[in-house]
Structure 1
Amino acid sequence: MTPDRVPFTPLEERIDRWAQRRTSTLATAGGMRRARLVELVVFGLKQAWACVFGAVMLVLLVTARVLYPDDAPLARADALVLAAVAVQVAMLALRLESLREMGVIALFHLVGTAMEVFKTAVGSWAYETDGLLRIGEVPLYTGFMYAAVGSYMVRVMRLFDLRFTRYPPLLATAALAAAIYANFFTHHYLPDARWVLLAAMLLLYGRCAMSLRVHRRAPWRRMPVIAAFLGVAGLLWVAENVGTAAGAWIYPHQRAGWELVPASKFVSWLLLMMVSVVLVTLVHRPRRPERAQ
């Protein structure tokens, strides 16, 4: 293994080798269009695999709301905590996630839970009040929702061998991430700086491009990092609508009945992407493209 090669889990290695064999066979036979189609399919498969922890959490939230008995001896929120722990243990035991990645995922837990405790205390949103496995108003399964974001981020970094052109200085990204995280707390008492912070993020990452490949012999593809931020933030906003519709938590405007989560939350997720990226760089430092690109 070359020094800069990011290791795959066993399942990811099998997917990658299948993609290499299939595209190589099609390209040799003159089927370049079909080879590109396989590349697109593998891209989708790897994206789905990167989302696996988040998808399982979403299924658990919806299933608990629809099927779990309200009068069960074990509270629904506590059952969700135990199920989330079981999923995380299984992923480690089956070598679907590495111990190194677990470090940054645990950091997502801490960062997310701290914000949840504060936000529920000031009434930004609310959870069911049953269950024992909680901190204040916050059931402990909420930390796993933030961990799902961390799991996705560290996986795409390695699954697509991401490289970055004109990546901003790490000190600057860390300072901006800290300011964004602080604003989630301080805007309740001071003027909301989210639009200033969003402008700073666009300036910082505006020239940054991301190179990726769907398998290790595939050609490199490029896209603006900001476009990736927008795409992931959009998916998180959709997942948030599913979560609130399932009653996992509710916003004040949803107390009389479910309504769509406001678009302002999309901006919040976009800013949280900045914090997420900085946390992930603790495990996977941004690398420059190879000269051959």
Structure 2
Amino acid sequence: MKSEHVKDFLLFGWKQALCCIFPVVIFLTLAVSKVLTLPFLHRYDFILLVCILAQIVLVWMKLESVDELKVITVFHIIGLGLELYKVHMGSWSYPEEGWTKIGGVPLYSGFMYASVSSYVCQAWKRFDLHLIHWPRTSFAIILSVSIYTNFFTHHFAYDIRWVLIALIVILFYKSHIRFTVITKTYRMHTILSFMLVAFFIWLAENISTFLGAWRYPDQEISWRIVHWGKISSWFMLVIITIIIVAELKRIKYPEQVKGTK
């Protein structure tokens, strides 16, 4: 392997770590709050407080812009809405007490979804992402709405997840992402990037459930690995996140998102 490639690989890893600042803060908070008990504050409330402070610090240090904060907030709301419904349907639970719980859902849970959009926003500017052969805006929006709706409707109607995956393949089979590490530009198929991010989120989900962030029904007695099938759910959520960011970028920076309008 050439020294240039080694340097790019190492810097790629370092930049990826920087993109994960917000998720890492959440993981560290989950870990610390699992072993330390605060006598004056419930664990869920402590995690929420740290998440809010972390978000303020990121903006104050200009690691995130106000526009990026708006995108992250939108996904926080989207995630919280999904959490409220899923907990109500018994998909998972938050068994600990907390003052900042609504409908059995602690408000910090929305930040776990927001951290995904934070990662996407960070990666976009650190790697100078350009999306090539991106699908038409109307198609991308319809796909996002359909994916999000299916998370709700599959509880009482047919789960069209595999239909949606087929549509994703059709819409994105020509699409790829161009990214720059130092000066050399690389390319990756868009669907592969979706899959890789989803896989690493699934790994993070295993860490989160181990640290007691939430529990699936089969983890009530003892922790066990999260089912592989959850990767497809994260795959879908990653697509929603990237589409939201991409369509907003297309408005302000059309040269970064090239495709059919």
TM-score > 0.5 by shorter chain: yes
- Which residue of structure 1 aligns with residue 4 of structure 2? 35
Contact 2:42 2:97 in 1 (8 A): yes
Q: Any runs of at least 4 consecutive aligned residues in structure 1 with deviations exceeding 6 A, and if so which?
A: none
Where 1:124 maps in the other structure, the secondary structure is coil
Unmatched runs of 5 consecutive residues or more in structure 1: 1-31
| Match 1:98 to one of 65, 83, 87 | 65
Spell out, residue by residue over 1:175-228, the C-alpha distance to the aligned partner (whole angstroms, 9 max, x if none): 01100000000001101111111111121111111111113xx12111111111
Where 1:283 maps in the other structure, the secondary structure is helix
Q: Report the more deviating stretch, 280-289 or 129-138.
A: 280-289
- Which residue of structure 2 aligns with residue 133 of structure 1? 100
Matches within 5 A, 1:218-237: 218-237=183-202
Q: Distance in 2 between matches of 1:233 and 1:114?
A: 20
- Which residue of structure 1 aligns with residue 221 of structure 2? 256
Q: Distance in 1 between matches of 2:57 and 2:77?
A: 21
Contact 1:77 1:128 in 2 (8 A): no
Where 2:2 maps in the other structure, the secondary structure is helix
Contact 2:154 2:160 in 1 (8 A): yes
| Match 2:180 to one of 191, 213, 228 | 213
Query: Sequence identity of aligned pairs in percent?
Result: 37
State the Cα RMSD in Å. 1.6
Q: Tell me the TM-score normalised to structure 1 length.
A: 0.83
Answer yes or no: is 1:51 the counterpart of 2:20.
yes
- Which residue of structure 2 aligns with residue 3 of structure 1? none
The alpha-carbon deviation at position 68 of structure 1 amounts to 2.7
- Which residue of structure 1 aligns with residue 237 of structure 2? 272
Matches within 5 A, 1:176-191: 176-191=143-158
- The aligned amino acid for 2:215 is I
Q: Mark the structure with the bigger radius of gyration.
A: 1
Q: Report how many aligned residue pairs link the two structures.
A: 255
- Which residue of structure 2 aligns with residue 122 of structure 1? 89
The alpha-carbon deviation at position 33 of structure 1 amounts to 2.7
The alpha-carbon deviation at position 129 of structure 1 amounts to 3.9
Contact 2:176 2:187 in 1 (8 A): yes
Contact 2:176 2:189 in 1 (8 A): yes
Where 1:263 maps in the other structure, the secondary structure is coil
- The aligned amino acid for 1:219 is K
Unmatched runs of 5 consecutive residues or more in structure 2: none
The alpha-carbon deviation at position 289 of structure 1 amounts to 8.5
- Which residue of structure 1 aligns with residue 135 of structure 2? 168
Q: Distance in 1 between matches of 2:32 and 2:241?
A: 27
Q: Distance in 2 between matches of 1:87 and 1:138?
A: 21
Q: Distance in 1 between matches of 2:179 and 2:14?
A: 15
